[in-house]
Amino acid sequence: MTVMLDLGSHFPTGLTVATLTLAGVLLLAAAARADTPYAAMRPVGFTDVRLEDGFWAPRIRNTIDAMIPHQLRMCEETGRIRNFEIVAGRAEGKHEGLFFNDSDVFKVLEGMAYCYALEPSPNLLAEMDRLIDTIAAAQQPDGYLNTHFTLVEPDKRWSNLADMHELYCAGTLIEAGVAHYDATGDRKLLDVALRFAECIWSVFGPGKRDGYCGHEEIELALVKLAETTGDGRWLALAQRMIDLRGQGHGAEYCQDHEPVREQDAIVGHAVRATYLFAAAADLAARSGDEGLVRAMDAVWEDTVSHKMYITGGIGPSASNEGFTGNYDLPNDTAYAETCAAIGLAFWGKRMTEFHGDARYADVVERALYNGFLSGVSLSGTRYFYVNPLASRGDHHREEWFYCACCPPNVLRVVPTIGGYMYGASGDGLWVNLYAASTASVRVGDTDVQVVQRTDYPWDGDIKVAVNPASAAEFEVRLRIPGWCEGATCEVNGASVDATAANDGYLHIRREWRRSDVVSLHLPMPVRRIEANPAVEADRGRVALMRGPIVYCLEGVDNGGVVRDICLPRENNLTATMRPGLLGGVVTITGHARCAPALGWQDDLYRPARDTADKTITAVPYYAWDNREPGEMTVWIPEAPGLAG
């Protein structure tokens, strides 16, 4: 059977095929090289955006200066790099650590490549070369590369795809190879990745063994490999792996319970699920596959309507590192893995680009500024794996983890933040996120320089200079965040209607000339947020937000105790910029009530407690546990009966 290709609607669906015709391969190659014709916008890559703000740019600087050397040292000390040296014959010993530890090294390399793309450095290049030489020397003659199986179970390759992460590790290698090639123009890591991909194709390609990984990731990587090489086989293999999933009697844990196109709820392991549907969005943008679109839309809606924390964290349960039932969002025991917030941002970015709808970018913003950023300390060298929304003082960041997926995942995201800011289409410039930056964007046939000036997320005043190479008519589409009410806008000093369209963007069509300036004002009052009453943990409580930032009460600012605080609805709250605190943050202060905790001993009842006035200070949730250890809470009771 041959693959039937119609790029006007789909490229191969249901790739249970024996062969690809030459014509089919050529059509797939065209799809691999093409833009995403079914997406509303194409992304503006992070290398085309120079961040110049006081929020993200310092974090990129810190990633280069502190995070990379720290994570390299951790990979050395924990044997992750030594495993490759042993396989390469450059050291003696036994495999150390978990069977998927190779992936951490590959993700660190990917992050290093992204940093190098932003700021080429001879030292960084030499460090990457050293690692790549070791990795290349560990590759087997047939292209296979996995230190665990080569050293521990050489006769069990591909014997347990559901649990042993071989294809997951391969995917992280491919992503690193693509990143390194894009950053340096050097093919040596890309060639290692390609040889492994060819090995995988020889085993799992069309007409070969049916196989896919229990931990999704390689599907995302294969799309990137197709784009870089122009070889459509990698798109075909990514789709084949998605199409095979759920055909047997798999588990919800790895989204294998039913075919992907029939899924309508987010289930199982949170990271795996978001990676799967991010890959589905990648394929849908290239194929227009209506079944994938229906599934990813339905699963997205279930995620953000029923199963997402206010921080953009997802996956409340430690038992499966993932999802339970609707509205099950406990605070003290929230798992909300850092990698899951990253996966949600990956997926949301693709949904934003596919649909051209600001509500997806709203979720990306929520995840990046809160659930993702909480996963790394201000120093860049300590991390949360788990991100609870309340703590009694016993939850702290660590330098590293035995299962260390989160730190290198953070490393590979921070330098790419600029790639989340802008999008482009044939007749439009899209501003999806706000940060002081300069970007180069191609709108239709016109090169446009975009210069954004703002103190976002602390201030909602934004100026966007639109500088086309020559006068051109197109739309500038500015996201009006879902949290914002009362936005105002001017173009060259003249007021324009700032009402967002149904897609959540303010559309401004005109002939743009160099030095035209759009001035957007997004009011940022302190907001009290309530949860759906079905969220049992948050009944009678409020969370505080200002702009995109979620706040928390931390013991160090509030006399050491926050669990006895209640915040009556009528009490006023004030936002104040504190340049010297936590790297420079806006805090929220105000009057609350304190209901001191009293021991119950064996009493069943007691008189209601008196409350006392208390001045409180709330800080951004992402910044907690960077000072003295202590209690923390995001959701604050409004009445004293819930305090404690």
The answer to whether residues 447 and 483 belong to one domain is yes
Residues 213, 254, 405, 566: which is the catalytic one? 405
| Beta-strand relationship, 526-529 and 612-620 | unpaired
Percent of the chain with pLDDT over 70: 94
- Measured CA to CA in angstroms, residue 561 lies from 222, 564, 571, 624 at distances of 50, 7, 20, 14
State pLDDT tens for residues 13-27: 333 333 344 445 455
**Ranges assigned E (strand) in 240-396:** 390-391
> What pLDDT band is residue 11 in, cutting at 50, 70 and 90?
very low
Instruction: Give the integer Cα–Cα distance in Å for 73 and 76.
Output: 5
User: Across the chain, which distance is largest between two alpha carbons, in Å?
Assistant: 82
Q: What is the pTM of this model?
A: 0.95
Domain assignment of residue 464, yes or no: yes
Domain for residue 491, yes or no? yes
Q: What is the pLDDT of residues 566-584, one digit of tens each?
A: 999 988 999 999 999 999 9
- Can you tell me the distance from the alpha carbon of 514 to that of 624, in angstroms, rounded to the nearest whole number? 43
Q: Please state, in angstroms and rounded to a whole number, the distance separating the CA atoms of residues 316 and 329.
A: 6
The pLDDT score that the predictor gives to residue 31 is 64
pLDDT at 447 over 80: yes
Same domain, yes or no, for 484 and 545? no
Residue 616 located in a structural domain: yes
Strand partners, 593: 566, 613
Is 554 within the bounds of a domain? yes
Segment 281-325, tens digit of pLDDT? 999 999 999 999 999 999 999 999 999 999 999 999 999 999 999
C-alpha distances out from residue 559 to 175, 456, 459, 605, Å: 47, 30, 29, 28
Q: Has residue 425 got a pLDDT over 50?
A: yes
Residues 596 and 575 in one domain: yes
Across all residues in the chain, what is the average pLDDT? 94
555, 544 Cβ separation under 8 angstroms = no
State yes or no: is 594 an active-site residue.
no
Indicate whether 573 belongs to any domain.
Answer: yes
Q: Say whether pLDDT at 616 is over 90.
A: yes
- Whether residue 553 lies inside any domain: the answer is yes
Asked if pLDDT for residue 502 goes beyond 80, the answer is: yes
572: Cβ–Cβ under 8 A, 6 or more apart, which residues? 590, 591
Query: Among all chains, which residue has been given the structure tokens 């063994």?
Result: 209
Asked whether the predicted pLDDT for residue 29 surpasses 90, the reply is no
Q: What is the pLDDT of residue 562?
A: 95
From 481, 506, 521, the end of a domain falls on 521
Task: Look at residue 214 and tell me if it is in a domain.
Answer: no
When pLDDT is averaged across residues 394-405 and rounded to a whole number, the result is 97
- Judged against a pLDDT cut of 60, whether residue 244 lies above it is answered with yes
Q: What is the mean pLDDT of residues 38-49?
A: 97
How large is the average pLDDT for residues 326-333?
Answer: 98
- In tens, the pLDDT along 524-562 reads 999 999 999 999 999 999 999 999 999 999 999 999 999
- The yes-or-no answer on residue 405 being catalytic is yes
Distance between CA atoms of residues 114 and 120, nearest Å: 10
Nearest CA to 84 out of 178, 151, 30, 17 is that of 151
Per-residue model confidence (pLDDT) at position 24: 53
Do 494 and 582 lie in one domain? The reply is no
Q: Does residue 567 sit within a domain? A: yes
- Round to whole Å and give the CA distance between 181 and 175: 10
Query: Which token pair is 182?
Result: 């894009």
69-79 pLDDT per residue, tens? 999 999 999 99
For residue 19, the model assigns a pLDDT of: 38
Based on the domain organization, do 484 and 502 belong to the same domain? yes
Name the residue among 120, 122, 117, 124 with its Cα closest to residue 67. 124
pLDDT in the model for residue 608? 77
More confident residue, 491 or 571: 491
Q: Are 442 and 515 members of one domain?
A: yes
Residue ending a domain, among 521, 541, 568, is 521
Catalytic pick among 252, 321, 353, 638: 321
Mean pLDDT of 175-183: 98
**pLDDT band per the 50, 70, 90 thresholds, residue 33:** low
Task: Give me the number of domains the chain comprises.
Answer: 2
pLDDT tens-digit map of 590-614: 999 998 766 667 888 877 777 889 9
Range of the domain at 470: 422-521
Identify the domain boundary among 521, 542, 574: 521
User: Which CATH number do you get for residue 474?
Assistant: 2.60.40
Q: Where do runs of H (alpha helix) occur along 372-510? A: 406-413
- Statement to judge: residues 548 and 452 lie in one domain: no
What is the C-alpha separation between 498 and 521, in angstroms, rounded? 9
In this predicted structure, what is the pLDDT of residue 604? 87
